[in-house]
Amino acid sequence: MRKAKVYMHNEEAGWLIEDELNQKYRFIYDDSYKGKAISVTMPVEDKEFKFEHFPPFFEGLLPEGVNLEALLRTKKIDRNDRFAQLMAVGEDTVGAVTVKEIKA
Q: Is pLDDT above 90 for 15? A: yes
Residue 8's pLDDT is: 97
- Number of domains present in the structure of the chain: 1
pTM: 0.92
> Using 50, 70 and 90 to split pLDDT, how confident is the model at 68?
very high
Residue 16's pLDDT is: 98
The domain of 16 spans: 2-102
Strand locations in 1-104, DSSP E? 2-8, 11-20, 24-29, 48-51, 97-102
Q: Is pLDDT above 80 for 104? A: no
What confidence tens digit (pLDDT) does each residue in 16-34 have? Answer: 999 998 899 999 999 999 9
How far apart, in whole angstroms, are the C-alpha atoms of residue 8 and residue 65? Answer: 26
